Amino acid sequence: MFDIHIPEKDDLLKLYAQIEPGQLSMLYAVCLGLKPLMDTFLRYEHFLALKEKAKTKGILFGHNGIMMSHPQERFLRRKERRRNLGTTKMIAIPFDEERKDALVHAFISRSPDKIEEARKLTWYNLFVGEHQLVQPAIDNFRYGATLGFPDCCVRFYAGHNGRFLDDNHTWEWNTPFEVYRNTRGEFSFLCNHIPMDHCYFLIHHYPCSYNCPETIKLAGDILEGIRSIDREYGDKIERYLKLPYLLFNEKKAFVFEGEIKGNRITYSDCHFLGDKRDLATYMDITKGDCVEVHEDYIVVFRGSNEITRYPLEGDFEGKIYKFG
């Protein structure tokens, strides 16, 4: 499941898939003119190779600096820092073409104006010694528009309970569980963001609901566009987006080859969407053929035999997501 897809008809898309396949569908959308801008992290030599390949296609590559990974505990020493941190935690360093071990924060677009907007709006909370500068929430929302997110989705998070603009802690509420809470009716596979950054997805934002009309329109156009030049890839995206999902948090989820019946998922295969270091915690799910979700725990079965149980914390951890 979730094997890497390598396009054969386009040299830029093929090279990107060989280098960093996670956001392949978003690069398709940019090339098709269906997404104004995407951003990602690339090794510097890969950034240069893709930039050169894109020249003849009218696709522009820009950046706003380079970063290096850093031990996470250095960022988490103080409680107030933990509250203000997003999911990206790195050290910014001056741009240096010789730093092959660093990552370029890259912007990809057809428009130089969009790349310039991105440079202005995409900055992270900064720590200088013991001092912290917090990114204004308004920059996040403006950047959402620059990325082509539907206005209703941006406004949903911008005005959610009045909390975002009051305290700037957008990431405390910017989670898939807010989408779950706000959805009435069936979940559309076109609003399925869960496999984001795992090659087979159509949107790189949290929709305001799992049946958001604007998101359905955007994702449907991207799917149709991808199918027009790579039907195999488009068909695989749709199939994967319609499978059962079990979500622990925005960075940890399972997708199953199987079916949902009530609070149970029976399956013949599964795939973990998340950091491989976290898979060890949930390894027994890969050994089972059924998961049963209860209010505060999950049971994993193999046949009629119980393999293990996992405790759940919070109202939305361990939710089953069924997309149609």
Locus of tokens 């992270």: 124
DSSP alpha helix (H) spans, the chain: 11-19, 24-31, 44-54, 79-84, 112-121, 137-146, 151-158, 163-167, 176-182, 213-229, 231-241, 276-279, 283-287
- Provide the 10 A C-beta neighbour count for residue 42: 22
pLDDT, position 14:
97
User: 323: closest CA among 249, 238, 203?
Assistant: 238
**Residues forming a β-bridge with 310:** 298
pLDDT, tens digit, 9 for 90 and up, residues 275-316: 888 898 899 999 999 999 999 999 999 999 999 999 998 777
pLDDT, position 86:
53
Q: Rounded to whole angstroms, how far apart are CA atoms 20 and 299?
A: 35
pLDDT, position 160:
57
**What average pLDDT does the segment 179-200 reach?**
96
**What average pLDDT does the segment 21-46 reach?**
96
pLDDT, position 313:
85
pLDDT, tens digit, 9 for 90 and up, residues 109-127: 999 999 999 999 987 666 6
Q: Rounded to whole angstroms, how far apart are CA atoms 220 and 212?
A: 12
Between residues 208 and 66, which one has the greater pLDDT? 208
Within 13 Å of residue 257, how many CA atoms lie on the same side as its CB? 7
User: 164: closest CA among 180, 144, 149, 146?
Assistant: 144
Range in 75-79, 98-102, 158-162, 316-320 with the lowest mean pLDDT? 75-79
Between residues 100 and 141, which one has the greater pLDDT? 141
Instruction: Count, in order, helices (H) and strands (E) of the chain.
Output: 13, 13
**What average pLDDT does the segment 91-103 reach?**
71
270 touches 255 (CB < 8 A): yes
Locus of tokens 């975002």: 164
Q: Rounded to whole angstroms, how far apart are CA atoms 289 and 155?
A: 41
Residue 194 has pLDDT above 60, yes or no: yes
pLDDT, tens digit, 9 for 90 and up, residues 233-277: 999 999 999 999 999 988 899 999 999 999 999 999 999 999 888
Residue 152 has pLDDT above 60, yes or no: yes
Q: What 8-state DSSP symbol labels residue 185?
A: S
Q: Rounded to whole angstroms, how far apart are CA atoms 81 and 169?
A: 11
**What average pLDDT does the segment 145-169 reach?**
72
pLDDT, position 315:
73
Full-model pTM: 0.89
Helix (H, G, I), strand (E, B) or coil at 187: strand
Counting residues of the chain whose pLDDT is more than 90, the rounded percentage is: 65
Q: Could you tell me which residues come within 8 angstroms of residue 91 by beta carbon, excluding any fewer than 6 positions away?
A: 67, 68, 69, 70
**What average pLDDT does the segment 169-173 reach?**
54
pLDDT, tens digit, 9 for 90 and up, residues 196-215: 999 999 999 999 999 999 99
Residue 146 has pLDDT above 50, yes or no: yes
Residue 161 has pLDDT above 70, yes or no: no
- Provide the 10 A C-beta neighbour count for residue 77: 9
Q: Rounded to whole angstroms, how far apart are CA atoms 245 and 293?
A: 12
What residues does each domain of the chain span?
A: 11-242, 249-321
Q: Which amino acid is at 67?
A: M
Q: Rounded to whole angstroms, how far apart are CA atoms 298 and 303?
A: 16
Q: Under the phi-then-psi rule, with left for phi > 0, alpha for psi from -120 to 50, and beta for the rest, what region is 77?
A: alpha
Token pair belonging to 268:
């013949």
* Structural Rg of the chain based on CA atoms: 20
Between residues 163 and 179, which one has the greater pLDDT? 179
Q: What 8-state DSSP symbol labels residue 323?
A: B
